[in-house]
């Protein structure tokens, strides 16, 4: 299967070479790698040009965008711009962050998953972060959710869900919409990816409120959001996260990422998962 990778990056010069080195030494090579320089102010753009000049399968794309960072929308917009360079679309579409180190068999393993299960729409590994010199499982990683940092999509699944939405919550919406359309979504805990800069380390109040907006956009009800916010607060050891998330949920009045039928599916799917964890029911 052909694999195409898009890597959006904003000020990632410190990590980008390590990410690319881990991808260029894979047992299964990507057909194309698109590097997207999203308005960087460091040496990211120049480094991308050097990498593109040195490797035939690498393309560098340079964007001018707003400097303000908002989780979700900015990185997806950059990804979508980079995706235009993958024409035609490959069998497997990967959206990777620029601060990861992949094990040598990563691409071969995800290809094997897609070949083994024709109904598999999305797959990803697990992220590990440095904790006082030891690599430990990132708190936001779980068997039921592929981290936004390392998404891999079957082309047909990606097209059926309508691509990615440049909004906070995109990396949950894609999985829920895939499941709504009958696709399988899986993670592989054996694929350990080193995440050099943990997600959300510098989240501010607006970002936390955006998390609540994302739950509203996904069709969550109040109690589902409260449970999700409490879980997020516990993982981050921050009660402020809970209150800001709930504030964002209550105040949001804009459009949703899902229609009414999809929203019902999302709520039923989430409540079923909660009941299964609490009572072992299916």
Residues 145-162: tens digit of each pLDDT: 999 999 999 999 999 999
Residues 59 and 190 occupy one common structural domain: yes
Higher pLDDT, residue 90 or 281 = 90
Buried b (16+ CB within 10 A) or exposed e, 243-255: bbbbbbbeebeee
Residues 211 and 190 occupy one common structural domain: no
Mind listing the pLDDT tens digit for each residue in 2-25?
Answer: 999 999 999 999 999 999 999 999
- Residue 64 placed within a domain: yes
Residues 131 and 177 occupy one common structural domain: yes
Residues 247 and 179 occupy one common structural domain: no
List the end-to-end C-alpha distance of the chain, in Å, as a whole number.
Answer: 35
Query: How much is the average pLDDT of 120-129?
Result: 96
Percent of all residues in the chain with a pLDDT value above 90, rounded to a whole number: 80
Candidates 39, 38, 35, 47; CA nearest to 7 is 35
| Domain stops at, among 195, 218, 239 | 195
Q: Assess contact for 265 and 180: CB atoms under 8 A.
A: yes
What is the distance between the alpha carbons of residues 125 and 82, in angstroms, rounded to a whole number?
A: 22
- Residue 53 placed within a domain: yes
- Residue 269 placed within a domain: yes
Residues 191 and 215 occupy one common structural domain: no
- Indicate whether 67 pLDDT > 60: no
Q: Assess contact for 33 and 7: CB atoms under 8 A.
A: yes
Q: What is the mean pLDDT of the chain?
A: 92
Region of poorest pLDDT, from 16-20, 123-127, 213-217, 232-236: 232-236
Residues 36 and 160 occupy one common structural domain: yes
Which helix or strand (DSSP H or E) is residue 32 part of?
Answer: strand 32-38
Query: How much is the average pLDDT of 208-215?
Result: 90
Residues 228 and 262 occupy one common structural domain: yes
| Domain stops at, among 164, 195, 226 | 195
145 forms beta bridges with 142
- Indicate whether 134 pLDDT > 60: yes
Residues 114 and 171 occupy one common structural domain: yes
Range of the structural domain that residue 226 is part of? 205-279
What is the distance between the alpha carbons of residues 13 and 100, in angstroms, rounded to a whole number?
A: 12
Q: Under 8 Å CB-to-CB from 55, ≥6 apart: which residues?
A: 24, 33
Please report the pLDDT score of residue 73 as a whole number. 81
- Residue 77 placed within a domain: yes
Please report the pLDDT score of residue 69 as a whole number. 55
Both tokens of 266, joined, read: 């999302």
Which helix or strand (DSSP H or E) is residue 192 part of?
Answer: strand 184-195
Please report the pLDDT score of residue 279 as a whole number. 81
Q: In the chain, helix, strand, coil percent, each to 5?
A: 45, 20, 35
The number of distinct structural domains making up the chain is 2
pTM: 0.90
Residues 115 and 210 occupy one common structural domain: no
Residues 130 and 157 occupy one common structural domain: yes
What is the distance between the alpha carbons of residues 191 and 125, in angstroms, rounded to a whole number?
A: 5
Query: How much is the average pLDDT of 79-91?
Result: 96
- Residue 200 placed within a domain: no
Buried b (16+ CB within 10 A) or exposed e, 53-75: eeeeebbbbebeeeeeeebbbbb
What CATH number corresponds to the domain at position 27? 3.90.550.10
| Domain stops at, among 195, 214, 236 | 195
């Amino acid at each position: 299967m052909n694999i195409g990778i898009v890597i959006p990056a904003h000020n990632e010069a410190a990590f980008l070479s390590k990410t690319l080195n881990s991808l260029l030494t894979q047992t299964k090579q990507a057909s194309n790698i698109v590097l997207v320089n999203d308005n960087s102010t460091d040496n990211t753009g120049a480094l991308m040009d050097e990498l593109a000049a040195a490797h035939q399968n690498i393309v560098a794309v340079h964007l001018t965008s707003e400097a303000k960072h908002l989780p979700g929308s900015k990185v997806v917009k950059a990804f979508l711009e980079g995706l235009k360079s993958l024409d035609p679309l490959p069998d497997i579409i990967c959206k990777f962050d620029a601060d990861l180190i992949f094990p040598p068999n990563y691409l071969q393993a995800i290809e094997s998953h897609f070949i083994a299960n024709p109904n598999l729409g999305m797959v990803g590994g697990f992220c590990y972060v440095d904790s006082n010199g030891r690599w430990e499982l990132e708190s936001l990683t779980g068997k039921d959710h592929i981290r936004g940092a390392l998404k891999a999509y079957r082309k047909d699944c990606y097209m059926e869900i309508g691509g990615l939405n440049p909004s906070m919550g995109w990396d949950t919406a894609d999985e829920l919409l895939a499941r709504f359309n009958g696709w399988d979504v899986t993670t592989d805990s054996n694929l350990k990816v080193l995440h050099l800069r943990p997600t959300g380390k510098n989240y501010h109040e607006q970002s936390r409120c955006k998390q609540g907006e994302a739950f509203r956009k996904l069709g969550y009800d109040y109690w589902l959001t409260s449970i999700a916010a409490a879980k997020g607060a516990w993982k981050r050891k921050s009660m402020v996260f809970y209150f800001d998330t709930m504030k964002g949920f209550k105040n949001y009045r804009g459009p949703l990422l899902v229609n009414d039928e999809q929203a019902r599916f999302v709520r039923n799917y989430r409540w079923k998962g909660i009941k299964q964890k609490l009572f072992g029911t299916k």
